[in-house]
Amino acid sequence: MWKAWFSPDSFYSYCVMVPVISAILIYHNLRKPNRGSIIKEISFPLFFLIFMFPLPLAWTNDISFHLKFLSANISAWMLHATARGNVIVMPHGQVVVNEACSGIRGILSLFAMSTVFIYWMKTNMTKKIIVVIAVIPIALIVNAIRISFLGIVTEQWGAQYTKGLIHDIAGLLFFGLSFGILFTISRILAANKKYKFSARFGIIPRYNCIYFFPPLE
């Protein structure tokens, strides 16, 4: 498991944060005034620990294999370029979309976070399912935008500028974008007259807006 978390091309680098998030949820839930039973308050945080464990390698290899072709085609369409398998061919350069850039890492990490979001949401099951389903198109589209950005850099300045620090920073920035989109969708679905985010995390209605913040208790 440790190797799966920290290997250079790991799909599971986000797993390091899973026990941290679980511990924060347990700590917060047990400090709530008027809390329910201990079992009820720690059940989801303990369930969340399941995301620490990698999927079978055969599954991730098969999924990422197909995703890299899909991501290459979407990015080629965005760039008005040509996709040849997992290679995006442009007039002055090309981008190779391998398994690590297929979008599977974003899908797995966003899926884990989507369970936290629906845990926060006090709404009906249909809206919670929408949040979970939204993970796939958000991850794929944002990943395609990231690949397109790297394609533009390659075309304008050369492939040497898409490696190392720039590649890693782009990955972090675009993951932050996908995280923000998913959070916004879950917040919009929860923010109506009948349903709002759970009181587990503070809510202040003000000027018809919902402000989300950790409680200060």
65-116 pLDDT tens trace: 999 999 999 999 999 999 999 999 999 889 999 988 899 999 999 999 999 9
pLDDT tens string 163-184: 878 888 888 899 999 999 999 9
Buried b (16+ CB within 10 A) or exposed e, 173-187: ebbeebbebbbebbb
Please state the pTM of the whole predicted model.
0.81
Residue spans per domain, the chain: 1-54, 56-213
